[in-house]
Amino acid sequence: MHKIYILDQFHPAGVEWIEQRADVVRWDDPRLSDWHQHAQGLMVRTGKISGEDFRRAKQLKVVSKQGVGVNNMDLVAAQACGITVCNTPGINREAVADMALGMALSLSRRITEFDRMIRSGQAFNRNDFMGLEMWGKTIGIIGMGNTGTEVAKKYRQAFNAQILAHDPHVPADHWGDIAHERVHDLADLWPRVDVLSIHVPYTPQTHHLVNAAVLAQLKPRAMVINVARGDIVDEDALYTCMRAGHLHGAGLDVWSDVEPPLASHPLLSLPNVIATPHAAGSTEETQIKSSLRVAEQLLHVMNGGEPFHRVV
């Protein structure tokens, strides 16, 4: 039987499925520390796999990663070692899109802000804390992949929003069923949006894509939503911008250094920031589907099949 090591805690659905078909060592088993010597396949979520890990794992053939992001492993080393890496994009698109939309709605109507005030016993006049309606707003979507598509659909259906879409890697006829304007130059997008919703992977090209210069171009009452990867937004620049009173609010599910962020993080001192701990995909439905997909893909490749979604 194939020797499979599961490096992170997965939903039981996928664990139980693969335990019936392979010799499995789970994340809570003391034998996990021996994976470099024995693993032929790995299931991983957020655990880091370095180049040295790959070089030590002489029997390792396949790594199946939950989710789309693979910046927690050294892909160059994996390829050099002849190890297949595959991921599971798109499975969490509904959940992540829900979070993106929920953050924007909560910010626009100051729901979390009011909740904190009431719970703390703070005296306030609600007329001094006016919200914004979402109907007909202009939404800038950066990244027209699985999640971006769902976000656009939800905004169109719920709020008759105007969609500005940017993605240089998607064909021109993409989103044919969604009314939108394709924006090729981001410089034309920044000053027009009421909500900036980010759905691109983290790459050297997207590092600090949203920086001080970009933030200065946004409308004074715009909102920034990041449910993609932390380093896409320059958090220091965002804090400076919002501290100065620019922007209606920001919703961040992903963070640059530590997730969840430390309580001392400057952005957490601002009442119009919603912070969540990289939990956009954390729904029961998504975790079941993702866990099963990771397990099924791993065993499929180990039995000689082509990955459903190959990374290297």
Q: How many CA atoms lie within 13 A of 295 on its CB side?
A: 25
- CA angle, 38 then 18 then 294, to 5°: 90
Structure tokens belonging to residue 73: 């492993």
Task: Please name which of 165, 157, 171, 161 lies closest in space to residue 185, comparing C-alpha atoms.
Answer: 165
- CA pair distance 78, 61, nearest whole angstrom: 9
- CA pair distance 138, 155, nearest whole angstrom: 9
- CA pair distance 97, 74, nearest whole angstrom: 28
Query: Angle, nearest 10°, between helix axes 93-108 and 284-302?
Result: 150
The residues annotated as belonging to the active site are 229, 259, 278
